[in-house]
């Protein structure tokens, strides 16, 4: 009975509604036939398909509140899905392939004459803490960021909707929380290393010789070589762009409109992908790719032969100022028994 009453009411009200919503009908047009969708013009205006962006009036007074539908949002969403995610994923996969091939072809780049066991101080405890703090925060942000960027296409089919949504939610919270830590550690990195990363004479030669890849022998370098300096300034400059754009994204209450948010998102993602891609190369060259390099960030000391090979101008200063410590003194400084040179002994024995 109730359903019948509702149907009757619906039939009575529907003609009134359609006549109120539709355009005024011409007296000449045949009844019941309409070749034009009465809502088409309205929605064309709403979607602003003619290219003219019109702002309406709304009782809600806030940024972009006059726009019923953000037409550019579609473009941004398409760009994110088709370009950013796909090309980003390809870039990350490509760098891993390149690094693997490099390792297979060249292996670990050895030091001429091998490791001597005589060491020289390269980084203080504080400098290494700053480096590893930034590295830990960066890796956490990279992993959670990649889950957010590529997870829908890569993880969702494997994990299923429920598990993936859990991963995505956790990644988003973690990413937003660790973001400001990246900015703080970036400032610490800038203050600690900026002075020694200013470009100087000889750096261009390093670049022209491709860091030693072109021609024979090692290229001359100071405390940091051209490649390291460029990586440092990339981290600082792109890092600041990522951090600022991230803060804009995570704090939408400062009056920034959709356009700024979309731009921030694109800049944030592209910057992060560049840093992630290059960081894989940095991690490779700083660990398994180059003999003796990791020791500098582990203990703060490097082998003098490594310093002479990769940073000869700085190595010369170490020789001239007698900054070299013997293997026994180094072992003692590291809290090992005199004579126990630890990993160095193992590497020398190879």
Partner 1 sequence: MIEYLIDGPLWYFSLAVFCIGVLWQLASIVFAKGKTDLSVARGSAGRGAIRNVFSRFMPHREIAPQIRVQVVAGYMFHLGLFALLFFAAPHVLFLEEHLLGFGWTPMPHWAFIVASQFAFLGLIILWLRRMLNPVSRLISTLDDHVAAILTFIVMLTGCLALLEGFTALRLLHRFSVELLLIYFPFSCLMHTFTFIPSRAFTGAWFGRRGIDA
Give me the residues that bind partner 1 (CB under 8 A), please.
Answer: 125-126, 128-129, 132-133, 136-137, 165-166, 169-170, 172-174, 177-178, 180-181, 184-185, 298-300, 333-335
> How far apart are alpha carbons 119 and 325 in whole angstroms?
5
**Which helix or strand (DSSP H or E) is residue 121 part of?**
strand 119-121
Nearer to partner 1, 125 or 321 (CB): 125
- Find the shortest distance in angstroms from Cβ 277 to partner 1: 25
Q: What is the CA radius of gyration of the chain?
A: 31
- Rounded to whole angstroms, the Cα distance separating 236 from 229 reads 11
Joined tokens for residue 196: 């020694």
Q: What is the DSSP letter of 254?
A: S
Whole-number minimum distance, CB 295 to partner 1, in Å? 12
Could you tell me the smallest distance in angstroms from the CB atom of residue 280 to partner 1?
22
Minimum distance from residue 321 beta carbon to partner 1 (Å): 23
Greatest distance between any 2 Cα atoms in the chain: 108
CB 178, min distance to partner 1, A: 7
CB of 326 to partner 1, least distance (A): 16
Q: Is 63 exposed, middle or buried (0-12, 13-18, 19+ CB in 10 A)?
A: middle
Beta bridge partners of 325: 119
CB of 31 to partner 1, least distance (A): 54
Which two tokens mark 8?
């009757």
**DSSP notation for 314-347:** HHHHHHHTT-EE-HHHHHHHTTPPTT--THHHHH
99 versus 188: smaller Cβ distance to partner 1? 188
Measured between alpha carbons, how far is residue 92 from residues 121, 164, 285 in Å?
34, 21, 17
Q: Rounded CA gap, 275 and 145, in Å?
A: 12
**Cβ(69)–Cβ(56) below 8 Å:** no
What is the spatial distance between Cα 21 and Cα 25, in angstroms, rounded to a whole number?
Answer: 11
Cβ at position 179, least distance to partner 1 in Å: 9
Select 220 or 334, whichever has its Cβ closest to partner 1.
334
Beta bridge pairs of residue 290: 109
Residue that is written with structure tokens 């011409």 in the block = 26
């Amino acid at each position: 009975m109730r359903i019948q009453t509702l149907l009757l009411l619906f039939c009575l009200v529907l003609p009134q509604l359609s006549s109120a919503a539709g355009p005024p009908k011409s007296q000449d047009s045949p009844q019941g036939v309409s070749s034009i969708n009465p809502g088409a013009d309205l929605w064309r205006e709403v979607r602003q398909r003619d290219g003219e962006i019109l702002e309406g009036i709304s009782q809600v007074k806030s940024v972009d509140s006059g726009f019923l539908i953000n037409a550019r949002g579609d473009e941004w969403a398409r760009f994110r899905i088709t370009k950013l995610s796909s090309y980003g994923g390809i870039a990350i996969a490509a760098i891993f392939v390149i690094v693997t091939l490099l390792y297979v072809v060249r292996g670990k780049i050895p030091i001429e004459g091998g490791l001597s066991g005589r060491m020289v101080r390269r980084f203080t405890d504080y400098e290494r803490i700053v480096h590893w703090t930034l590295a830990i925060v960066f890796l956490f942000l990279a992993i959670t960021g990649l889950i957010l960027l590529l997870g829908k296409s890569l993880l969702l089919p494997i994990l299923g909707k429920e598990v993936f949504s859990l991963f995505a939610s956790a990644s988003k919270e973690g990413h937003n929380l660790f973001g400001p830590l990246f900015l703080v550690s970036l400032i610490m990195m800038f203050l600690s290393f900026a002075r020694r990363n200013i470009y100087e004479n000889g750096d261009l030669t390093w670049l022209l010789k491709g860091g030693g890849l072109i021609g024979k022998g090692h290229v001359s370098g100071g405390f940091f070589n051209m490649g390291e300096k460029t990586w440092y300034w990339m981290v600082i400059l792109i890092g600041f762009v990522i951090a600022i754009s991230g803060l804009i994204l995570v704090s939408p209450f400062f009056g920034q409109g959709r356009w700024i948010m979309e731009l921030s998102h694109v800049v944030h993602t592209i910057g992060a992908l560049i840093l992630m891609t290059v960081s894989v190369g940095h991690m490779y060259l700083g660990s398994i790719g180059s003999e003796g390099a990791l020791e500098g960030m582990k203990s703060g000391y490097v082998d003098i032969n490594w310093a002479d090979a990769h940073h000869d101008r700085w190595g010369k200063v170490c020789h001239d100022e007698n900054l070299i410590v013997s293997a026994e003194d180094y072992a003692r400084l590291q809290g090992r028994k005199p004579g126990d040179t630890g990993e160095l002994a193992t590497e020398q024995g190879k």
